[in-house]
Amino acid sequence: MSKNILYILVAFAAMFQMTACTEEARQRLEPTPYAVGSLNQVTVIADNDLWGGDIGDSLSFYYGSAFPILPQPEPLFDLKHFTPEQLEGEPTRKELKAYLVIADISDQSSPTTRMMMEDLGQERIRKAREDASFTTSMGHDRWATNQVIVYLFANGMENLKQEVVDKFPTVAKVIHNHYKDQIESSVYLAGENNEAINALQRLGCYIKVPGDYRLVIEEEESLWLIRENELTTSNILVHKLPYTSQDQFTKEHIIALQDTLGKRYISTTIEGSYMRTNSSDLPVFTQSSKIGNTYAMEARGIWEMHKDFLGGPFLAYLILDEKNNQLFFVDGFVLAPGEKKRNQMLYLEHIIQTFQPGAGGLN
Protein backbone atom coordinates (compact mmCIF):
# COMPACT_ATOMS: atom_id res chain seq x y z
CA MET A 1 0.00 0.00 0.00
CA SER A 2 2.75 2.42 0.95
CA LYS A 3 4.53 1.69 -2.34
CA ASN A 4 1.38 2.46 -4.32
CA ILE A 5 0.93 5.76 -2.50
CA LEU A 6 4.55 6.66 -3.18
CA TYR A 7 4.09 5.90 -6.89
CA ILE A 8 0.96 8.04 -7.00
CA LEU A 9 2.73 10.97 -5.28
CA VAL A 10 5.66 10.73 -7.67
CA ALA A 11 3.28 10.59 -10.63
CA PHE A 12 1.39 13.68 -9.40
CA ALA A 13 4.66 15.55 -8.86
CA ALA A 14 5.82 14.70 -12.37
CA MET A 15 2.48 15.77 -13.84
CA PHE A 16 2.60 19.05 -11.89
CA GLN A 17 6.15 19.74 -13.04
CA MET A 18 5.20 18.99 -16.67
CA THR A 19 2.14 21.27 -16.41
CA ALA A 20 4.23 24.08 -14.90
CA CYS A 21 6.88 23.69 -17.60
CA THR A 22 4.21 23.62 -20.29
CA GLU A 23 2.60 26.80 -18.90
CA GLU A 24 6.00 28.52 -18.67
CA ALA A 25 6.81 27.49 -22.24
CA ARG A 26 3.39 28.66 -23.41
CA GLN A 27 3.94 32.09 -21.83
CA ARG A 28 7.39 32.34 -23.43
CA LEU A 29 5.95 31.47 -26.85
CA GLU A 30 3.02 33.88 -26.61
CA PRO A 31 3.55 36.84 -28.97
CA THR A 32 4.41 40.08 -27.16
CA PRO A 33 1.77 42.73 -27.93
CA TYR A 34 2.84 45.93 -29.66
CA ALA A 35 2.32 49.06 -27.56
CA VAL A 36 -0.58 51.26 -28.59
CA GLY A 37 -1.82 54.70 -27.60
CA SER A 38 -2.46 58.17 -28.89
CA LEU A 39 0.36 60.63 -29.48
CA ASN A 40 1.90 62.19 -26.34
CA GLN A 41 -0.20 60.12 -23.95
CA VAL A 42 1.42 59.41 -20.56
CA THR A 43 0.00 56.82 -18.18
CA VAL A 44 0.82 57.60 -14.55
CA ILE A 45 1.00 54.62 -12.16
CA ALA A 46 0.61 55.83 -8.58
CA ASP A 47 -1.37 55.20 -5.40
CA ASN A 48 -4.71 57.02 -5.22
CA ASP A 49 -3.69 59.19 -2.27
CA LEU A 50 -0.54 60.32 -4.09
CA TRP A 51 -2.42 61.07 -7.33
CA GLY A 52 -5.17 62.92 -5.45
CA GLY A 53 -2.76 65.10 -3.47
CA ASP A 54 -0.07 67.69 -4.06
CA ILE A 55 2.04 65.42 -6.25
CA GLY A 56 -0.88 64.75 -8.57
CA ASP A 57 -1.46 68.51 -8.77
CA SER A 58 2.21 69.04 -9.68
CA LEU A 59 2.04 66.36 -12.36
CA SER A 60 -1.02 68.00 -13.90
CA PHE A 61 0.57 71.43 -13.68
CA TYR A 62 3.79 70.46 -15.47
CA TYR A 63 2.87 67.58 -17.77
CA GLY A 64 -0.56 69.03 -18.51
CA SER A 65 0.70 72.58 -19.06
CA ALA A 66 -0.20 74.34 -22.30
CA PHE A 67 1.56 73.37 -25.51
CA PRO A 68 3.26 76.50 -26.97
CA ILE A 69 1.55 78.40 -28.65
CA LEU A 70 -2.00 77.51 -29.74
CA PRO A 71 -5.20 79.56 -30.15
CA GLN A 72 -6.99 77.33 -27.62
CA PRO A 73 -4.97 75.68 -24.84
CA GLU A 74 -3.99 72.03 -25.35
CA PRO A 75 -1.74 70.08 -22.95
CA LEU A 76 1.83 69.03 -23.61
CA PHE A 77 0.86 65.48 -22.62
CA ASP A 78 -2.47 63.71 -22.17
CA LEU A 79 -2.39 62.15 -18.68
CA LYS A 80 -4.10 58.92 -17.61
CA HIS A 81 -3.89 57.48 -14.09
CA PHE A 82 -4.04 53.89 -12.85
CA THR A 83 -3.19 52.34 -9.53
CA PRO A 84 -1.14 49.11 -9.63
CA GLU A 85 -4.34 47.18 -8.85
CA GLN A 86 -6.17 48.79 -11.78
CA LEU A 87 -3.19 48.06 -14.02
CA GLU A 88 -3.31 44.37 -13.11
CA GLY A 89 -7.09 44.24 -13.39
CA GLU A 90 -7.19 44.92 -17.12
CA PRO A 91 -4.45 43.43 -19.37
CA THR A 92 -4.84 46.06 -22.11
CA ARG A 93 -3.76 48.75 -19.64
CA LYS A 94 -0.28 47.24 -19.84
CA GLU A 95 -0.09 47.73 -23.60
CA LEU A 96 0.24 51.52 -23.75
CA LYS A 97 3.31 53.36 -25.02
CA ALA A 98 4.55 55.53 -22.16
CA TYR A 99 4.34 55.08 -18.37
CA LEU A 100 5.47 57.21 -15.45
CA VAL A 101 5.60 55.18 -12.23
CA ILE A 102 5.82 57.37 -9.10
CA ALA A 103 6.34 56.23 -5.52
CA ASP A 104 7.52 57.32 -2.09
CA ILE A 105 9.84 54.41 -1.37
CA SER A 106 9.84 55.14 2.37
CA ASP A 107 6.24 53.86 2.43
CA GLN A 108 6.72 50.09 2.24
CA SER A 109 2.95 49.49 2.49
CA SER A 110 2.39 51.36 -0.77
CA PRO A 111 1.27 49.09 -3.67
CA THR A 112 3.27 51.25 -6.09
CA THR A 113 6.40 50.97 -3.94
CA ARG A 114 5.98 47.18 -3.88
CA MET A 115 5.54 47.17 -7.66
CA MET A 116 8.64 49.31 -8.05
CA MET A 117 10.67 47.02 -5.76
CA GLU A 118 9.65 44.05 -7.89
CA ASP A 119 10.53 45.84 -11.15
CA LEU A 120 13.79 47.49 -10.09
CA GLY A 121 15.07 44.98 -7.57
CA GLN A 122 16.12 45.29 -3.94
CA GLU A 123 19.61 46.59 -4.76
CA ARG A 124 18.36 49.65 -6.65
CA ILE A 125 15.77 50.43 -4.00
CA ARG A 126 18.47 50.16 -1.31
CA LYS A 127 20.64 52.56 -3.32
CA ALA A 128 17.73 54.99 -3.67
CA ARG A 129 17.15 55.01 0.08
CA GLU A 130 20.83 55.70 0.74
CA ASP A 131 21.61 58.06 -2.16
CA ALA A 132 19.26 61.06 -2.45
CA SER A 133 20.54 61.83 -5.97
CA PHE A 134 19.34 58.46 -7.33
CA THR A 135 15.67 59.16 -8.10
CA THR A 136 14.98 57.90 -11.62
CA SER A 137 15.31 54.72 -13.62
CA MET A 138 14.07 53.76 -17.06
CA GLY A 139 12.85 50.56 -18.65
CA HIS A 140 11.75 49.47 -22.10
CA ASP A 141 9.26 46.88 -23.37
CA ARG A 142 8.19 45.77 -19.87
CA TRP A 143 4.77 44.53 -20.98
CA ALA A 144 4.72 45.33 -24.71
CA THR A 145 7.08 46.07 -27.57
CA ASN A 146 8.00 49.73 -28.18
CA GLN A 147 7.15 50.78 -24.65
CA VAL A 148 8.98 53.14 -22.30
CA ILE A 149 8.60 53.21 -18.50
CA VAL A 150 10.11 55.97 -16.38
CA TYR A 151 10.35 55.26 -12.64
CA LEU A 152 10.44 58.36 -10.44
CA PHE A 153 10.99 57.84 -6.73
CA ALA A 154 12.28 59.48 -3.56
CA ASN A 155 12.59 58.80 0.15
CA GLY A 156 9.72 60.80 1.68
CA MET A 157 6.83 62.77 0.21
CA GLU A 158 8.50 66.19 0.39
CA ASN A 159 11.52 64.88 -1.49
CA LEU A 160 9.23 63.25 -4.06
CA LYS A 161 7.36 66.52 -4.65
CA GLN A 162 10.65 68.25 -5.43
CA GLU A 163 11.76 65.46 -7.77
CA VAL A 164 8.55 65.76 -9.80
CA VAL A 165 9.47 69.39 -10.46
CA ASP A 166 13.22 68.94 -10.92
CA LYS A 167 13.03 65.91 -13.20
CA PHE A 168 10.20 67.21 -15.40
CA PRO A 169 12.43 68.49 -18.27
CA THR A 170 14.38 65.21 -18.40
CA VAL A 171 11.33 62.95 -18.22
CA ALA A 172 9.40 65.06 -20.72
CA LYS A 173 12.29 64.80 -23.19
CA VAL A 174 12.47 61.01 -22.79
CA ILE A 175 8.75 60.64 -23.48
CA HIS A 176 8.76 63.13 -26.36
CA ASN A 177 11.67 61.29 -28.00
CA HIS A 178 9.89 57.96 -27.54
CA TYR A 179 6.98 59.21 -29.66
CA LYS A 180 9.21 60.27 -32.57
CA ASP A 181 8.82 56.92 -34.31
CA GLN A 182 5.04 57.23 -34.12
CA ILE A 183 5.24 60.76 -35.56
CA GLU A 184 7.56 59.54 -38.33
CA SER A 185 5.16 56.74 -39.27
CA SER A 186 2.14 59.07 -39.30
CA VAL A 187 3.86 61.85 -41.26
CA TYR A 188 5.33 59.61 -43.96
CA LEU A 189 2.47 57.14 -44.27
CA ALA A 190 2.12 58.19 -47.92
CA GLY A 191 5.87 58.06 -48.58
CA GLU A 192 7.82 61.07 -49.86
CA ASN A 193 7.07 63.68 -52.52
CA ASN A 194 10.16 63.56 -54.75
CA GLU A 195 8.87 66.35 -57.00
CA ALA A 196 8.71 68.72 -54.03
CA ILE A 197 12.10 67.53 -52.73
CA ASN A 198 13.65 68.24 -56.15
CA ALA A 199 12.08 71.71 -56.15
CA LEU A 200 13.65 72.41 -52.75
CA GLN A 201 17.00 71.21 -54.09
CA ARG A 202 16.72 73.78 -56.87
CA LEU A 203 16.08 76.38 -54.17
CA GLY A 204 19.27 75.25 -52.43
CA CYS A 205 18.07 73.15 -49.50
CA TYR A 206 16.57 69.81 -48.53
CA ILE A 207 13.44 68.86 -46.60
CA LYS A 208 12.04 65.34 -46.42
CA VAL A 209 8.60 66.22 -47.81
CA PRO A 210 5.76 63.78 -47.06
CA GLY A 211 3.95 62.25 -49.99
CA ASP A 212 0.60 63.86 -49.17
CA TYR A 213 1.97 67.41 -49.49
CA ARG A 214 1.69 69.08 -52.89
CA LEU A 215 3.68 71.91 -54.41
CA VAL A 216 1.50 74.98 -55.09
CA ILE A 217 4.12 77.69 -55.69
CA GLU A 218 7.70 77.44 -56.91
CA GLU A 219 9.58 80.67 -57.56
CA GLU A 220 13.25 81.59 -57.66
CA GLU A 221 13.37 82.46 -53.96
CA SER A 222 10.19 80.92 -52.53
CA LEU A 223 8.31 77.65 -52.40
CA TRP A 224 4.94 76.73 -50.86
CA LEU A 225 3.81 73.21 -49.91
CA ILE A 226 0.33 72.32 -48.72
CA ARG A 227 -1.46 69.29 -47.29
CA GLU A 228 -5.27 69.34 -47.14
CA ASN A 229 -8.00 67.05 -45.86
CA GLU A 230 -11.58 67.59 -44.72
CA LEU A 231 -10.50 68.78 -41.25
CA THR A 232 -7.08 70.45 -41.46
CA THR A 233 -4.76 72.30 -43.81
CA SER A 234 -1.03 72.20 -43.09
CA ASN A 235 1.39 74.50 -44.91
CA ILE A 236 5.16 74.89 -45.28
CA LEU A 237 6.46 78.08 -46.87
CA VAL A 238 10.20 78.23 -47.64
CA HIS A 239 11.91 81.50 -48.60
CA LYS A 240 15.58 82.20 -49.33
CA LEU A 241 17.20 85.60 -48.66
CA PRO A 242 20.73 87.04 -48.32
CA TYR A 243 22.37 87.11 -44.90
CA THR A 244 23.45 90.64 -44.03
CA SER A 245 23.72 90.85 -40.22
CA GLN A 246 22.82 89.22 -36.92
CA ASP A 247 20.00 91.78 -36.61
CA GLN A 248 17.98 89.61 -39.00
CA PHE A 249 17.48 87.12 -36.17
CA THR A 250 15.51 89.54 -33.96
CA LYS A 251 11.86 88.86 -33.20
CA GLU A 252 10.84 92.09 -34.93
CA HIS A 253 12.63 91.16 -38.15
CA ILE A 254 11.14 87.64 -38.19
CA ILE A 255 7.60 89.02 -37.71
CA ALA A 256 8.17 91.58 -40.45
CA LEU A 257 9.50 88.89 -42.79
CA GLN A 258 6.55 86.60 -42.10
CA ASP A 259 4.06 89.43 -42.66
CA THR A 260 5.73 90.37 -45.94
CA LEU A 261 5.55 86.79 -47.24
CA GLY A 262 2.01 86.34 -45.92
CA LYS A 263 0.85 89.43 -47.78
CA ARG A 264 2.63 88.30 -50.96
CA TYR A 265 1.44 84.68 -51.09
CA ILE A 266 -1.38 83.78 -48.66
CA SER A 267 -4.96 84.99 -49.16
CA THR A 268 -8.55 83.73 -49.37
CA THR A 269 -11.33 84.37 -51.87
CA ILE A 270 -12.07 87.69 -50.14
CA GLU A 271 -10.48 90.57 -52.02
CA GLY A 272 -7.72 92.31 -50.09
CA SER A 273 -7.26 89.45 -47.62
CA TYR A 274 -3.80 88.30 -46.57
CA MET A 275 -2.08 86.41 -43.77
CA ARG A 276 -0.38 88.35 -40.97
CA THR A 277 1.02 87.72 -37.51
CA ASN A 278 -1.37 88.21 -34.61
CA SER A 279 0.79 89.29 -31.68
CA SER A 280 -2.00 91.06 -29.79
CA ASP A 281 -4.01 88.00 -28.66
CA LEU A 282 -0.92 85.91 -27.89
CA PRO A 283 2.74 87.00 -27.89
CA VAL A 284 5.21 85.67 -30.44
CA PHE A 285 7.73 83.47 -28.64
CA THR A 286 11.29 83.25 -29.99
CA GLN A 287 14.37 81.31 -28.92
CA SER A 288 17.69 80.37 -30.48
CA SER A 289 17.71 76.82 -31.77
CA LYS A 290 19.40 74.38 -34.10
CA ILE A 291 18.19 72.41 -37.09
CA GLY A 292 20.67 69.56 -37.18
CA ASN A 293 24.00 71.34 -36.73
CA THR A 294 22.75 74.57 -38.27
CA TYR A 295 22.02 77.71 -36.22
CA ALA A 296 18.42 78.92 -36.32
CA MET A 297 16.00 81.23 -34.55
CA GLU A 298 12.69 79.59 -33.72
CA ALA A 299 9.44 81.58 -33.56
CA ARG A 300 6.01 80.37 -32.41
CA GLY A 301 2.81 82.33 -32.46
CA ILE A 302 -0.61 82.88 -33.99
CA TRP A 303 -1.45 84.00 -37.51
CA GLU A 304 -4.69 85.54 -38.73
CA MET A 305 -6.23 86.44 -42.07
CA HIS A 306 -6.76 90.16 -42.62
CA LYS A 307 -10.37 90.83 -43.78
CA ASP A 308 -11.37 87.21 -43.08
CA PHE A 309 -12.19 85.16 -39.98
CA LEU A 310 -9.42 82.59 -40.23
CA GLY A 311 -6.36 81.93 -38.10
CA GLY A 312 -4.21 79.35 -36.40
CA PRO A 313 -0.78 78.54 -34.98
CA PHE A 314 2.57 78.84 -36.75
CA LEU A 315 6.08 77.52 -36.16
CA ALA A 316 8.84 79.30 -38.10
CA TYR A 317 12.61 78.99 -38.26
CA LEU A 318 15.08 81.49 -39.67
CA ILE A 319 18.05 79.27 -40.54
CA LEU A 320 21.62 80.34 -41.30
CA ASP A 321 23.31 78.84 -44.36
CA GLU A 322 26.76 80.09 -43.39
CA LYS A 323 28.59 78.43 -46.29
CA ASN A 324 26.52 80.31 -48.88
CA ASN A 325 26.04 83.49 -46.82
CA GLN A 326 22.26 83.23 -46.96
CA LEU A 327 19.22 82.53 -44.81
CA PHE A 328 16.25 80.23 -45.20
CA PHE A 329 12.92 81.14 -43.62
CA VAL A 330 10.82 78.01 -43.12
CA ASP A 331 7.30 78.74 -41.90
CA GLY A 332 4.89 75.95 -40.94
CA PHE A 333 1.30 76.94 -40.20
CA VAL A 334 -2.00 75.14 -39.66
CA LEU A 335 -5.64 75.93 -40.40
CA ALA A 336 -7.99 73.61 -38.49
CA PRO A 337 -11.19 75.40 -37.40
CA GLY A 338 -12.77 73.70 -34.41
CA GLU A 339 -10.12 70.95 -34.33
CA LYS A 340 -7.25 70.27 -31.94
CA LYS A 341 -3.95 71.46 -33.37
CA ARG A 342 -1.18 70.18 -31.10
CA ASN A 343 -0.50 67.00 -33.04
CA GLN A 344 -0.53 68.84 -36.38
CA MET A 345 2.12 71.20 -35.01
CA LEU A 346 4.20 68.24 -33.80
CA TYR A 347 4.01 66.78 -37.31
CA LEU A 348 5.10 70.09 -38.89
CA GLU A 349 7.99 70.43 -36.44
CA HIS A 350 9.13 66.88 -37.30
CA ILE A 351 9.13 67.68 -41.04
CA ILE A 352 10.93 71.00 -40.68
CA GLN A 353 13.59 69.39 -38.47
CA THR A 354 14.70 67.39 -41.56
CA PHE A 355 15.87 70.65 -43.19
CA GLN A 356 19.46 70.82 -44.42
CA PRO A 357 21.08 73.70 -46.30
CA GLY A 358 22.62 72.88 -49.66
CA ALA A 359 21.13 71.23 -52.72
CA GLY A 360 20.34 67.62 -51.95
CA GLY A 361 21.00 68.12 -48.24
CA LEU A 362 24.56 66.86 -48.63
CA ASN A 363 26.30 69.78 -46.94
Arithmetic mean of pLDDT, 321-339: 97
For residue 361, pLDDT over 50 is answered with no
The average confidence (pLDDT) of the chain is 92
Q: What is the pLDDT of residues 146-166, one digit of tens each?
A: 999 999 999 999 999 999 999
Domain positions in the chain are 41-178, 192-361
One of 2.60.40, 3.40.980, 3.30.1360, 3.40.50 is the CATH number of 41-178, namely 3.40.980
Dihedral sign for Cα 159, 161, 162, 164, please.
Answer: positive
- Exposure string for 173-207, b = 16+ CB within 10 A, e = fewer: ebbeebbeebbeeebbeeeebeebbebbbebbbbb
d(CA 234, CA 349): 11
Arithmetic mean of pLDDT, 106-128: 94
DSSP H/E element including 189: none
DSSP lists the bridge partners of residue 79 as 42
Find out whether 200 and 180 touch, Cβ atoms under 8 Å.
Answer: no
Residue 151's SS3 state is strand
Contacting residues for 81 by C-beta, under 8 A, at least 6 apart:
43, 44, 45, 46, 51, 56
Q: How confident is the model at residue 25 (pLDDT cuts 50, 70, 90)?
A: very low
Q: What is the pLDDT of residues 69-113, one digit of tens each?
A: 999 999 999 999 999 999 999 999 999 999 999 999 999 999 999
Q: Which residue has the higher pLDDT, 181 or 9?
A: 181
Cβ-count burial of 272 within 10 angstroms (0-12 exposed, 13-18 middle, 19+ buried)? Answer: exposed
% of the chain with per-residue pLDDT over 90: 88
Q: What global pTM score does this model have?
A: 0.88
In the CATH hierarchy, which fold is given to the domain comprising 192-361? Protein Transport Mog1p; Chain A (3.40.1000)
- Exposure string for 293-313, b = 16+ CB within 10 A, e = fewer: ebebbbbbbbbbbbeeebbbb
- Exposure string for 281-290, b = 16+ CB within 10 A, e = fewer: eeebebeeee
d(CA 157, CA 149): 21
Arithmetic mean of pLDDT, 303-328: 97
